[in-house]
Amino acid sequence: MRLRDVGFFVRGRLSLALARALSARQPRLPVAPLPLETVLALRDPSPLDLARVLEGHDNAEREALVARYLAARGVAAETHRFETFEGSGANYAVDVGRGDRILVLIAHHDAVPGSPGANDNAAAVGILLKLLARLAAAPPPRLRVRFLFTAAEELGYLGARAYVRGADLRGVAGALSLELCGIGDALALWDAGTETPLSRAVARAAEGLGYRRDESYHVVGRVPVFGSDHRAFADAGLPGHGLTVVPAGDAEALRRFIFNPWRSILRGASRPRPFDTYHTPRDRAETLDPAALDRVGAALEALVRIF
């Protein structure tokens, strides 16, 4: 046991306690997830279809559903199980493409208790499952893309930390984790205060799709409170950033909230989108924008082609 892990444990429990407190007085309406069998019957399910499979399930069920979907589609996934005093779970890794350089794309499949977990983070899982199918049909010739579906991100990105400790990271050129990718029309790359080959490639991909810096895509430095799986890779000395979708019109309000969330919470101020549903019972599939999910998928596919 390392002192740093104890710190993650404490912060993770405090975060869960805060999420429960913020959601305690909110009504919890019934959630009707889309049955896995219904999605498997679809020839080409959308990211939203795939996200709805996970919505409302507990974390053990979400983990099992990802594994069942991959197996039913004939996708050979490598399972990385872990168990520590902080928690346990299973990560799933799938490599697509050829080449010595590896781009890791990450989406965690867990959610905080009490939240249906649609935008955090079933939307991102749906985006990556859709992209995985597209790239499997036309693999990149000079790059390997590693799709990593992690557990226990809500516990201080425990699954990613366990993966980084046990996996062979040779050849990994960068890691990009998807968070809150279902609401908004502007891309936001975060934990990107220092420019890296990955951040430059994301910028080129965005600009190639018509996005404009500081208007329809934003690059911000390290976020002080919120974190995600890419930080486990960054801590190992590899380029790692987070990718989120935000409403362009709320960019300034989001910046204020992200860099000082406690002030907003203590003042009782309303949270800007997409944080108004984050870690709450209102994080449901009907709040997701299918165009936002498609937008992220297109940006990631462009990134793969140029990275």
Ranges of each domain in the chain: 3-306
CB 102 within 8 A of CB 176: no
CB 110 within 8 A of CB 66: no
> What average pLDDT does the structure give for the chain?
92
Local structure of residue 118 (DSSP, 8 states) = I
CB 101 within 8 A of CB 125: no
Coil, strand or helix at 72: helix
pTM (two decimals): 0.93
- Answer positive or negative: Cα dihedral of 226, 229, 230, 233: positive
Q: Does the pLDDT of residue 23 top 80, yes or no?
A: no
Give counts: helices (H), strands (E), the chain: 11, 8
pLDDT digits (tens, 9 = 90+) for 41-79: 999 999 999 999 999 999 999 999 999 999 999 999 999
Q: What fold does the segment set 3-306 form as a domain?
A: Aminopeptidase (3.40.630)
- The structure tokens listed for 103 are 């781009």
